[in-house]
Structures are given as C-alpha cells and as structure tokens.
Chains A and B, each alone.
Chain A
Amino acid sequence: MREKQSFGNFLLNNAMIIFMIGAAIVVGLLRPTFFSMYNFKNLISNTAVRFIIAVGVSGCLITKGTDLSAGRTVGLAACIAATFMQAADYTSKVYPNLGELPMLMVLLGVIFVSVLVGLLNGLVIALLNVPPFIATLGMQTIVYGACLVFTGAQPIGGLRKDYTNLSSGSIFNIQMLPYLGLFALIIGVIMWFVYNKTPHGKYMYAIGGNENSAEVSGINTVKTKLMIYMTAGLMYGIAGFLLGAKSGGASVNMGMGYELEAIAGCTIGGVSTNGGVGRISGILIGVLVFELLKIAMQFMGVETSYTYIVQGIVIIIAVALDIRKYVAKR
C-alpha cells in the first residue's frame, strides 16, 4: 500500500516531465523527422544556452529569490559580444576603425559587464533588503535601456567565422556533439561541484532552508547572496556570448523572456520556489524537457499564439506541483 502510494507520489511529482516526454514520443510517431540527427543537434544547441541561464537562476531560486533580469542581461551580453566580434571586412561595422580583438578578451569583457549587473542585483537585494522580484524587475528595465543606448536599437551582424563556429562546429565533426553541448556540460560539472562540494553551496542551501537560522549559525548571508547573484551574472555573460555566436547576430530583443524559460526549467527539474532544494541534474532534465516540448509543438504546427499559452500553463503547473510537494511534507 505504502509502495503504491509512493509510486503515485513519484508519478505526480514528475507529472510534468512524464507528460512532456509522452507528448514528444507521440509527435515522434506522427512526424518521423522529429527523431532525426539534425533535430537532435538543434535540441542540444538550444538546451545548452538555456541550461547555462537556468543554472544561474537556480542559485537565486534556491535562496528564495529570483532573477527577472536574466533574459535582458543575456541580450546585453550578446549585443556586446556581437559588436566586438564583427568581421574586419564587414561594411556596416559598429566601430569601423576597430581591429579584430582576441575572442578571449571579448568574452572576459562581456563577463565583466554581466557580473557587474549581478553585483548590483546582489547589493540591492542583500544590503538594501529589497524583494528580489522588485529589484531584478527594475534591473531588467535598466539593462534593456542600457542595451538600447549601446546598440542604438540597430541589429548587429557580420560576425567573424571563428566566433560563429563556436555554435555551428561540433567535436570531431560528429553532428551529435556540438561545441555548445560541451560548454554546457563543462559548466554543469563545475556548478555541480560548487553546489555540492564547497562551503558556498552549503551556505546557499542553508539560506534557502531558513535564512534566520543560517545567519545565527554564523553564515555571512550578505556575502553569500552577493556571490550567488554575481555567479548568475557570470552565467548570463557566457550564455549571451554563446547566444550571439549561435544566432549569427544580435539585437536588443535577444534574450527576451528567457528568464521565465529558465525559471520554468528549474521548477520542472525540481528546484523549489520555496527555497533550499535543487540539483544541477534536475535543472538539466527540466530545461531539456521544456525545450523538447517547444520543438515538438513546432513539428506539430501548433499556432504560435497557442505555444505561448501552453508554455505559460506548463510554468504554472510546475510551480503548483512544487507547492503540492511542500504542502504534502507539512
């Protein structure tokens, strides 16, 4: 009886994942090209960038916070990266007299800007005690404005080949192993180590579990939160840099709504919005499954407006299932 109940709970707790995998299988049976190698590579490339963003957001969620500026920061990072990675012979260069800069230098510059955004978020949230929802919503608008000022609302194109190769290339020329997947894997492993094997990771879960207890136990909650939002910024910087390469250009609208996708991926993957719970492997599954659903909807020819409704309902169900877990534990 107990086993039956726990199996039922397992099914309910993972209902979203089971539903989406089921939907993907149905689509695969109806449209055989869904399981093609090209589509698989597409799925990995799309998942890779979103996974990196979701890992950044997960730290905030684990400490009962959130980061609504994620998408816009990714967009700003992509615009900065694209601006400085334009080909020398491109006629409409943003800075015509600027020579070709080393890729690593541009990456570090992009990371610096996005970490700065994260630091500002962290300062406002940890020091001024502004609710994360409000603080990051404000930052979202600030970053969008900054991006408009920086780009002049003009799309940026003509990117260098070595830069775009970061996304189009694959390991040993095997289609199934794109570089983007490798980058996401490396980041996933590093962040797994940070979350599970370092004091910072332990502090993060402790703050999410009970912030007052964590503070009384001697944990520097302000410093830990600052680190979390700065790490999130670092993730957005890397994701933006890769997104620019993947898209072959950038514009101010890039990254719009990515924060919600990231939060959805996290919640589907078991990161609790009540704080204190979340695993890197879960986030990967959550993001992968969410992306699978989006591609499945494209294959089935679901009207675009309805895809937004579906994605919205998926996010609400994921959060409702999370609350259900919390209530069941009480």
Chain B
Amino acid sequence: MEQKNENQWDGKRPDPITQTKEGWYEKLLARVPLTVKSLNIIIAILFLLLVAALVIGTLKGNGIL
C-alpha cells in the first residue's frame, strides 16, 4: 500500500517549497480547463461578435442605425 508523503502539497495549505497558496486563477483554470471544447465555444462567441460588429458597422455607416 502506498503511503502518503507528508510533504506532498495538497493545494490547500501553502506549498512547502514556494510558500504560495493556490489562488482564484488556478481554481478557475481547474474548473474551466483549456480544452478543444472550451476553445470552440470561445471561438464561436468571437465569430458572433465579429458578425455583430460587421452588421452594426454597416448599418451605422449607411445611416440606417
């Protein structure tokens, strides 16, 4: 049976080596990992923004909006 190393960092208490605690950014990254799926969603949102900017810009430029 594998014994747990007491010095192993559990992420809650400060890291014994760097003396840092896991912050909000690390927790957010763990929750929303950089995967193909999450990137697909981000890219889809960006494409929607692009189309919106093009449409609004065209309407404004032609004095419709």
Residues of A within 8 A of B (CB): 12, 15, 19, 23, 297, 300-303, 305-307, 309-310, 313-314, 316-317, 320-321, 323-324, 327-328
* Contact code string B35-48 (vs A, CB < 8 Å = 1, else 0): 11001101100110
- Residues of B within 8 Å of A12, CB to CB, are 40, 43
Q: Are A316 and B46 neighbours in the complex by a CB distance under 8 Å?
A: yes
From B35, B36, B57, A306 is in contact (CB under 8 Å) with: B57
- Residues of A within 8 Å of B57, CB to CB, are 297, 302-303, 305-307, 309-310
Looking at B34, B35, B42, B43, the one whose CB has the most chain A CB atoms below 10 A away is: B43
- Asked if B23 is an interface residue, CB under 8 A from chain A, the answer is no
- Return B49 CB to nearest CB of chain A, in Å: 6
Complex CA gap A328/B47 in Å reads: 20
List, sorted by A's number, 20 A–B pairs whose CB atoms are closer than 8 Å: A12-B43, A19-B47, A23-B54, A297-B57, A300-B61, A301-B61, A301-B62, A302-B54, A303-B61, A306-B57, A307-B57, A313-B46, A317-B43, A317-B50, A320-B46, A321-B43, A323-B39, A324-B40, A324-B43, A327-B35
Complex CA gap A313/B52 in Å reads: 11
- Return A325 CB to nearest CB of chain B, in Å: 9
- Residues of A within 8 Å of B43, CB to CB, are 12, 15, 317, 320-321, 324
Residues of B within 8 A of A (CB): 34-36, 39-40, 42-43, 46-47, 49-50, 53-54, 56-58, 60-62
- Residues of A within 8 Å of B60, CB to CB, are 303, 306
Nearest B residue to A320 via CB reads B43
Complex CA gap A302/B49 in Å reads: 15
Q: Are B47 and A309 neighbours in the complex by a CB distance under 8 Å?
A: no
Q: Are B46 and A317 neighbours in the complex by a CB distance under 8 Å?
A: yes
- Return A107 CB to nearest CB of chain B, in Å: 39
Complex CA gap A327/B39 in Å reads: 9
Complex CA gap A301/B62 in Å reads: 6
- Return B52 CB to nearest CB of chain A, in Å: 9
From B34, B35, B47, A15 is in contact (CB under 8 Å) with: B47
- Residues of B within 8 Å of A323, CB to CB, are 34, 39
- Return A8 CB to nearest CB of chain B, in Å: 10
Given A306-B54, A313-B46, output 12 extra A-B contacts at Cβ < 8 Å: A297-B54, A301-B61, A301-B62, A302-B61, A306-B53, A310-B54, A317-B50, A320-B42, A320-B43, A324-B40, A324-B43, A327-B36
Q: Are B39 and A306 neighbours in the complex by a CB distance under 8 Å?
A: no
- Residues of A within 8 Å of B39, CB to CB, are 320, 323-324, 327
Nearest A residue to B39 via CB reads A324
Given contacts A306-B53, A320-B39, whether A300 and B58 have CB atoms under 8 Å apart is yes
- Residues of A within 8 Å of B53, CB to CB, are 306, 309-310, 313
- Return B8 CB to nearest CB of chain A, in Å: 26
Complex CA gap A130/B39 in Å reads: 30
Complex CA gap A209/B14 in Å reads: 35
Q: Are A313 and B61 neighbours in the complex by a CB distance under 8 Å?
A: no
Looking at B43, B57, B60, the one whose CB has the most chain A CB atoms below 10 A away is: B57
Complex CA gap A297/B60 in Å reads: 12
Nearest A residue to B46 via CB reads A317
